[in-house]
Amino acid sequence: MTSPHRTLGRSQVRVSPLGFGAAPLGNLYSPLDEETARAAVDTAWDAGVRYFDTAPHYGLGLSERRLGAALRARPRAEFTVSTKVGRLLEPHPSPTGSDLAAGGFAVPGTLRRRPDYSRDGVLRSLEASLERLGLDRIDLALVHDPDEHMDTALAEALPALTELRAQGVVGAIGIGMNSVEPLRRFVAEGDPDVVMVAGRWTLLDRTAAPLLAECAAREVSVIAAAPFNSGLLSTDHPGAGGRYDYGTVPAAVLDRARSLATRCAEHGVPLPRAALCFPVREPVVACVLAGFRTPAEVSSAATHLTHGVPEHLWAELNATD
C-alpha cells in the first residue's frame, strides 16, 4: 500500500489505509487454527498494514489473545490497536458448550457477555483487554454497539474514555456501531476522535453520507468497517447463498450487487477491489477496515487497495445506486 497513514481526528493516533479486522481470529462462525490466524497477521504486517482492531466480544477474548500474541514481537511504536468497551466477560453460570448460538463464535461457551456501559465497566473492560492483549496501552478505545444503552454510554462510557484520553492512558476514543443515527448523536453530543461505522458506507449501502458530512465538519475521523457487507461484495459473482449484514441476502440487494459486479467486470476491475477502494475516496474516512481469516485474504485486499480503481468507473458505479 502506498497511501500515507492518516491521523484520527485531533489525536496523534495514526492508522494505515487498510485495517485488519480481527473478529475472524475469534473463530467467527467457524474454527480457525492458530497457525493460520498468526500467518494472517504476519501477512498483514508484511503488506504494510499497521492498524488492527479487536474486541472482547470476538470469540470471548480469543481474538484479543491471538492478536496480542501475533504483535508482541513487533515494535510497539509502529502499530495501532483498537479494542472496545461495553461488554464485560464473566464466567457463564450455565455453560452451553459453544458460543455459536449466543454470539456467533466457535469457542467454548464458558464465558458470557454482560452489557456494562458504566464508568466502572469501561475501566474494568480496558484493564482486562490489556491483560489479554499483553500490550502496554490501547491506542484507540471504542464504545461497542451501545444501541440499547445510549443514555448510559453518553453519560458514562464516553466521558470515562474522555478522561482516559486526557490522562494519556488511551490515545484516541470513539464509537463503533452498525447504526447511523446513534453515531450522529454521539458526534453531536460527545467529543470523539473517530466513529467506526460498519456496513453503512460501502459501495452498496451509502446511508452514512449525513454522518460523514457531520464528522468532517467537526474534525471527527471515520473508519469504514465491513466494506464487503458481510461478504456479499467479496466476490466477483455475488450469490443468493452469501451473507448480507450478517444474514440472508434480500432479492433487491442481490440485484444491485450483481449490477455493480457487471459494471466492474466491463472495466476489468474485480468487485472486491471497488468495494475496498470506495470508502477511502472520502477525505474524512481515515481507513477501510475488513475482517480477515487467512493470509490469502489479506494479500488480496492489500493488492486491491494498491491498484485502485479508474476514476471513470466511479461515475458508472454511482449510477447504480
Known catalytic residues?
A: 58
Alpha helices in 232-309 (DSSP H): 251-266, 271-277, 295-307
Q: Report the distance separating Cα 14 and Cα 129, nearest Å.
A: 20
Secondary structure element (H or E) that encloses residue 131, with its range: helix 119-133
The answer for residues whose C-beta is within 8 angstroms of residue 51's C-beta and 6 or more apart is 15, 16, 18, 19, 20, 79, 80, 81, 82, 287, 289
Distance in Å from the first CA to the final CA of the chain:
28
The residue to which cell 490469502 is assigned: 296
Cell of 253: 440487494
Pair type for strands 111-115 and 87-91: antiparallel
